[in-house]
Chains A and B, each alone.
Chain A
Amino acid sequence: MLDESAELSVSITQIVQRLKGTHLHSQLEKQAKECLHKPEIKLETLKDDVRRLLKASGMTCLPPPRHPRAPPEHTKEPLAYMRKAQVNWEKRILKSLNSMCTELGIPLARKRPVPEQNELTNKWNEMGTDEPDLSKFRPVYAPKDFLEVLVGLKNPNNERSEDLTVRSHWGLIQVSLNVRDIPQTREMYPELGLTYGQLGIDDHTHVPPDLFESEHIHIGKKVVSEHDSAAAQQYSRQGCPTGLRAQLWSLILNTTDDPEAITHYEQLKARVIHHDLLVDNLIYKDVKLTASNDDYYFVFEDYLYQVLLCFSRDTAVLEHFNYNCATPPKSCIQSKSGSEQCAVVYPPNGVIPFHGFSMYVAPLCFLYNEPSKLYSVFREMYIRYFFRLHSLTNPLCVLSLCLQFERLLQTHLPQLFYHLREIGAQPLRIAFKWIVRAFSGYLSTDQLLLLWDRILGYDSLEIVAVLAAAVFAFRAENLMEVTSLASAEAVLADLSTLKVMPLLQIFLFATSV
């Protein structure tokens, strides 16, 4: 293990490396050069003076991009059995993808002939009008397949008795990870407390706007005009006003409109035009099956293709594997000479889409409609948050969210949990699909965006697990009366009328602990 100071200098070097060539770097350089001309500068204290003046000029340091140290495999995920499970899971999905490829006789990648390239360029803004024959394609996996993997995870050193006691865990997840309980969650989310104003509660029609809403919007405008990323993140904890949300999220995620981003997107688009990938069909199918069938997201079908097809080809996404303990899938392709096979990452971004994947993008279409902007925001959200929802990764991933959900339920609604367990309706079986999608497609859009405000504001997905438990708490009365998994699912089938913030607030702050 590296010691503290060496770790720090590694981090700093990496940050500097990352910043080089970005717009921010040239701005800093420019500002620093200007400072040099100021009379206060003395040669002896050059470094400090420049630093001081930079600060005074308003160039405060943006929170560094989350760039944890690049550790070797074992520091990414210290538990051997977790690593093994991840590797096995990856093998499975890769096998599934390859066998589909062999079965259908379709190459993993192929260069498009020029007429096809031209056709696609013309149709770029309306790819949704295409109706390719997708019947032969099936999604590589669905969330419930992944759930089975999670359920099967067991620490081989831990002997678990089969007895159901008060002290045992009643849920499906069998690993013991450290997850927060309600008192700890309260400490983590103080701004959701009863004494703080919230968008999603205090902007209700009955509440006079002077109490909270007007002032909050006023502050939001200030935050946006000052381009203050850290402030935007803090602000977002109490919700983003609809009219400011797009800019605030952009600030928090550090996505800009600068030419680099646009160029990058255009390059990706060019890659889509030149090459056809097998996974493209999976994307088409997913969009047609999920987003296109949604009452609200169907309109954005074309945007989803424009984002997801480019996303598949974006090798910059591979960087997130530095802190994701998954490894990007590799497939063998013939080299140009035809004699060798070499393993390349496939798809180029290392992410095999699964059933429902397009729902990560769909809500963002409400906020952004310039393709490069929409793309940047989505990509950033993926490499910070969404990847955790379908891989086993430290410190927070879908596994710990599931466990947290189950523990919260068992601790605070034991009667309900026991009842559901007895009728064969393990709560996680119902809640898992919500968690994997961070509730996209299950909540109404305005409520979903209020939830995602808090994910960004607290830089954590934990709130998804808490909400899942809060939903069960809300419908507890009805759930106590059901007698089968099917009827439990029916009670929880429609979440479109739920108001997210009151549910969370009641569960966290108005439940006796």
Chain B
Amino acid sequence: VTNLPSQQTAGHKGGRSCIRYRCGLTNTIQDVLNQRPGWVEVKDDGEWDLNWCDVGWLRENFDHSYMEEHVRICHFRNHYELTRKNLMVKNLKRYRKTLEREAGRLEASKCDFFPCTFVLPSEYHIFVEEFKRSPGSTWIMKPVSVYSSDGSRSEEQKDEAQVESYVAQRYIENPYLIAGRKFDLRVYVLVTSYIALKAWLYRDGFARFSNTRFSLSSIDDQYVHLTNVAVQKTSPDYDPEKGCKWQMQQLRQYLTAKHGFETVQTLFKEIDNIFIRSLLSVQKTIINDKHCFELYGYDILLDQDLKPWLIEVNASPSLTASSQEDYDLKYRLLEDTLHIVDMEGRLTGKEKRVGVFDLMWNDGPVHMDVGLEALGSSCLVANTHLGCVNDRQKQLQQLLKPFPGQKRT
């Protein structure tokens, strides 16, 4: 590593050439940080410029750490407002009420993407009422895992967590099936600021299939219904070599072939809506901090009417790879995340696309740049391209200046 003096580049952030990072995880992110030119790992008590920490470290140290202006950390202090199911429900319900008051019922109905959920034990009685009102309905009990009263663990650690309370959630009995199998979608959203809200949507993601065929009669078969790869791995049917994922592009093409272009366009717009509304609902509760950014893993389920439902948001989405393809996806995801965090000061701040990330919300909806032909037309197209093709290498080459000390290839 060459010791270049830290440069002040034309970017609004002070560009640095030698970046010290601390990493609390031992998976794909380690490789990404390790292989980034000019980045050095510091351990233990060394001073760091970027900390890719786990939530445990965050909980114990965030409040006592002093962070200089340029320093970055990969979580928001109270992200659990979004990720813990009981808090998410509370925030969303409150946001919905506000929306109904201010903008009417139609606008508020755009928040109806969360299956009916009750926090237990506090909402036990209303839950029972609702349960009685819908005979024959199925409810799923989900634990709210906590670790000594606040914070949530990463996906990999969930099985070891202590459970403090439950939520009862209406089970979606008519999921969209492909060849008889249930699946859910994993989508990545990067938030770099809550006030004003700035969120990026990653074009790639995947659909995770259940290994067994869906039928309500097999409700006791826990493996059928839970599609998280982490759970699937414990199913006796599971064959790790088989892989049970589809790339988002593949899914989008399949759905387009079946339902036509416009229907699928609408579906993906509704999925965008889920991200934006869920983030807006916690905008005022999350403690904003210019040092913080966070990469969320959203779990979305489609029903037979092609309505998307939000199942869960993860603040520490699994970064362990299940296959080479998966590794490549997560590698690029993390690399692009670091491009956006931009410790090197190479971005102008006006970009709408970095690598595979599209800027989805910047204190308001972000629209695609329109060509000259479309000027004058009132048609604004959202700047999101989930499941669409991307030419990442080319885009990055054009966008980013080379790393300090590197020649442009």
Contacts and interface: CB of A to CB of B under 8 A. Distances in A.
B257 A246 contact: yes
Chain A CB within 10 A, most for which of B181, B249, B388, B391: B181
A125 B243 contact: no
A250 interface: no
B257 A243 contact: yes
A375 interface: no
Contact of B179 (A208, A302, A367): A302
Interface in B236-273: 241-246, 249-250, 253-254, 256-261, 264
Looking at chain A's contact residues, the main secondary structure is: helix
B180 A302 contact: yes
Interface string B387-398: 011110000000
A298 B245 CA distance: 10
Nearest to A292: B242
B305 interface: no
Interface string B150-180: 0000000000000000000000000000111
B260 A299 contact: no
A4 interface: no
A293 interface: yes
Residue in A208, A243, A246, A303 with the greatest tally of chain B CB atoms within 10 Å: A243
A296 B250 contact: yes
Contacts of B391: 205
A300 B181 CA distance: 9
Contacts of B260: 243
Given A129-B212, A129-B213, A299 B179 contact: yes
Contacts of A367: 257
Nearest to A246: B257
A296 to B, nearest CB: 6
B180 A126 contact: yes
A293 B242 contact: yes
Interface string A206-245: 0010100000010000000000000000000000011101
Given A295-B325, A298-B244, A366 B257 contact: yes
A233 to B, nearest CB: 19
A125 B388 contact: no
Nearest to B373: A210
Contacts of A293: 241-242
Contacts, number: 64
A128 B212 CA distance: 9
A401 B104 CA distance: 66
B323 to A, nearest CB: 8
A366 B180 contact: no
A301 B181 CA distance: 11
B109 to A, nearest CB: 28
Nearest to A300: B179
A88 interface: no
A301 B254 CA distance: 16
A303 B179 contact: yes
A35 B259 CA distance: 38
Contacts of A208: 371, 373
B254 A366 contact: yes
A483 interface: no
Contact of A366 (B213, B245, B249, B253): B253
A476 interface: no
B231 to A, nearest CB: 18
Interface in B197-250: 209, 212-213, 241-246, 249-250
Contacts of A299: 178-179, 181, 209, 246
Nearest to A203: B389
A365 interface: yes
A303 B180 CA distance: 10
Contact of A241 (B213, B249, B250, B261): B261
Interface in A249-307: 292-293, 295-296, 298-303
B179 A365 contact: yes
Nearest to A241: B261
Contact of B253 (A128, A217, A246, A445): A445
A445 B325 CA distance: 16
Interface in A122-145: 125-126, 128-129
B236 to A, nearest CB: 11
A298 B181 CA distance: 11
A128 B242 CA distance: 13
Interface string B97-131: 00000000000000000000000000000000000
Given A210-B373, A296-B246, A298-B242, A125 B180 contact: yes
Contacts of B241: 293
Given A242-B261, A246-B257, A126 B371 contact: no
A128 B373 CA distance: 52
A101 to B, nearest CB: 30
B33 to A, nearest CB: 27
Nearest to B243: A295
B202 to A, nearest CB: 16
Most buried by A among B179, B180, B243: B179
A34 interface: no
Given A208-B371, A242-B257, A301 B243 contact: no
Contacts of B371: 208
Contacts of A369: 179, 258
Nearest to A365: B179
Interface string A68-96: 00000000000000000000000000000
A243 B246 contact: no
B257 A245 contact: yes
Contact of A243 (B179, B244, B250, B256): B256
Contact of B213 (A204, A243, A245, A302): A302
A445 B250 contact: yes
A446 interface: yes
B329 to A, nearest CB: 12
Contacts of A298: 242-244
Interface string A443-472: 001100000000000000000000000000
A315 B213 CA distance: 32
Nearest to B254: A366
A365 B241 CA distance: 22
B253 A125 contact: no
A298 B389 CA distance: 23
A241 B262 CA distance: 13
B253 A446 contact: yes
Contacts of A242: 253, 256-257, 261
B119 to A, nearest CB: 36
29 contacts: A125-B180, A125-B213, A126-B213, A129-B213, A205-B388, A205-B389, A205-B390, A205-B391, A217-B261, A241-B261, A242-B253, A242-B257, A243-B259, A246-B257, A246-B258, A292-B242, A296-B246, A298-B242, A298-B244, A299-B181, A299-B209, A302-B180, A302-B213, A303-B179, A365-B179, A369-B179, A369-B258, A445-B250, A446-B253
Given A243-B259, A295-B246, A445-B250, 17 more contacts: A125-B180, A125-B213, A204-B389, A208-B371, A208-B373, A210-B373, A241-B261, A243-B257, A293-B241, A295-B243, A296-B250, A299-B179, A299-B209, A301-B179, A303-B179, A445-B253, A446-B253
The 6 closest A-B pairs by CB, nearest first: A243-B260, A243-B261, A126-B213, A242-B256, A299-B179, A300-B179
Interface of A: 125-126, 128-129, 204-205, 208, 210, 217, 241-243, 245-246, 292-293, 295-296, 298-303, 365-367, 369, 445-446
